[in-house]
Amino acid sequence: MKKKTLLSWSSGKDSAWALHALRQDPEIDLSGLYTVVNRKYDRVSMHATRSDLLERQANALGLPLQIINIPHPCSNDECDAIMESFVRNAVKIGIDCMAFGDLFLRDVRDYRENQLRGTGIKPLFPIWKSPTHILAERMLSSGVEAYISCLDPQKVSDSLAGRRWSKSLIEELPENVDPCGENGEFHTVVVGGPMFAESIPVRIGETVDREGFVFADIIPG
């Protein structure tokens, strides 16, 4: 029997590639997506994806989306309680696995595994330890289209905000910056690729500095 699976959908390229991998696994029944949204800004946490663009992504992926609203600010205890409630409900509807698009951050993986320990839901990491230079090339060659929606100006130039993630952009990155931004250098919003039924047209809006990060507004067309 296939394993009924939910994917933690960040709205970025790595989540999209994890989804692509899950769809090729004959043991997985990908049942839907879930995303944490900052209630104050009505956007995905860190990626700053607008909720209307998030819905457009889910429609183009052909999957139901569950939005988990969190307050701003939100303490770790509050966030953990909200996620525990979500996991309990997932158990009730027969979810077997929850999947994540993490690449190599061990502390992040440990946190996710601890959240699910003892619940009966198995954590899956379909692209874990994929060499990121090879992975980036594979994603771009497949037609993945993504834009930098958030960056850490202490790690990369703020001029990259709003730009399309591409081979030429990767070549501009400092040598110590991961091409997939896995160390928090940048986050993306994905709008096209082999996992989508159709690409989502977007335009780049205002760029703002907030709480030590630079955000570019990726607006659905």
Average pLDDT over residues 194-212: 97
Q: Count how many Cα atoms sit within 13 Å of the Cα of residue 127 in the half-sphere of its side chain.
A: 26
pLDDT band at 193 (very low <50, low <70, confident <90, very high): very high
Tell me the CATH number for domain 3-124.
3.40.50.620
Entry pTM: 0.95
122/188 Cα distance (integer angstroms): 27
Q: Which of 41, 73, 77 is nearest to 150 (CA)?
A: 41
Return the bridge partners of 123, or none. 98
pLDDT, residue 73, reads: 83
2 close to 28: Cβ distance less than 8 angstroms: yes
Query: In the numeric block, which tokens belong to residue 57?
Result: 């992504």
- Domain boundaries along the sequence of the chain: 3-124, 132-220
Chain segment 82-98, per-residue pLDDT in tens: 999 999 999 999 999 99
Q: Which residues contact 136 (CB under 8 A, 6 or more apart)?
A: 170, 179, 180
CA distance 33 to 8: 6
User: Which band of pLDDT confidence, cut at 50, 70 and 90, is reported for residue 72?
Assistant: confident
Q: How confident is the model at residue 110 (pLDDT cuts 50, 70, 90)?
A: very high
**pLDDT above 90 for 201:** yes
